[in-house]
Chains A and B, each alone.
Chain A
Amino acid sequence: MLGVKRKTKHYYLETARWGTLEINPDEVIHFSRGIPGFESCKQFAIFNADDIKPFQWFICLDHPDIGFVIIDPILFCPDYNPKLYDNDLEEVAFSKSDQLGFYVIVTIADDPQKSTANLQGPLLINLTKRMGKQIVVVDERYSVKYRILSD
């Protein structure tokens, strides 16, 4: 039957921390240099969980005990548009027709309301080529510890 989606490409990863993860190889994101502090984490995938929406899990497939909470920065910073440098675009193999997106890593505080997002080191994702890099935003307007619930 045409048009039936078969999940033959998906595979499962058993993890201590997250249980069984179902992974679509087409959705894995490759970070050729890892991210600062986690340079050996080169393959990541984004997982949704209803209970933490609008946040998502950003899990390292090489070391599945490593995972981060991420969020789309547009949700609380609608004009978030940091400058991209040549090195950034090269590292995610950007070419003109590719679609780019940002996620930011969230640091959950002991008091959850004081949690912060790293707007100065966003994850730049080439959604088309499935490649990513955590970039340094030189613009000092953006903080490493942006209070998500600031008013």
Chain B
Amino acid sequence: MLVLTRKSGESLIIGETIAVTIIEVRGGQVKIGVEAPREIAVYRKELLEKIRSENVMAGKLQKKNDKVVSLAEIILKNKK
């Protein structure tokens, strides 16, 4: 991991198309501005962790086949 120290108002350039700016440092929080092309996704890391842990939970299906069957039945019933 590249570690740099920046002050409010200072920036980093990543590749040639992404700029990260420290906008404000207050209390234990840092306000960060990111300029990036629209084709590049920028998101909080927690989002990836949320997806990972949801996958793990969903994968624990083990012996719940009957629950899937009953959910399927409810959905089909709702459609009629």
In whole Å, how far is B59's beta carbon from the nearest beta carbon of chain A? 6
Residues facing B in A97-151 (CB within 8 A) are 105-110, 112-113, 115, 118, 120-121, 134, 136, 138, 144-145, 148-149
The A interface, classified by DSSP as helix, strand, loop or mixed, is: loop
A38 B59 Cβ-Cβ under 8 A: yes
CB distance from B62 to the nearest CB of A (A): 8
Out of A36, A55, A110, name the residue touching B68 (CB < 8 Å).
A55
Q: Is B32 an interface residue (CB 8 A)?
A: no
On whether A107 and B54 interact (CB within 8 A), knowing A86-B39, A87-B40, A87-B41, the answer reads yes
B71 in contact with A113 (CB, 8 Å): yes
Ordered nearest first, which 3 A-B pairs have the shortest CB separation? A121-B51, A36-B52, A86-B39
| Residues of B in contact with A (beta carbons under 8 Å apart) | 39-43, 47-48, 50-59, 61, 64-65, 67-72, 74-76, 78
Interface residues of A (CB under 8 A from B): 35-38, 51-55, 66-69, 85-88, 105-110, 112-113, 115, 118, 120-121, 134, 136, 138, 144-145, 148-149
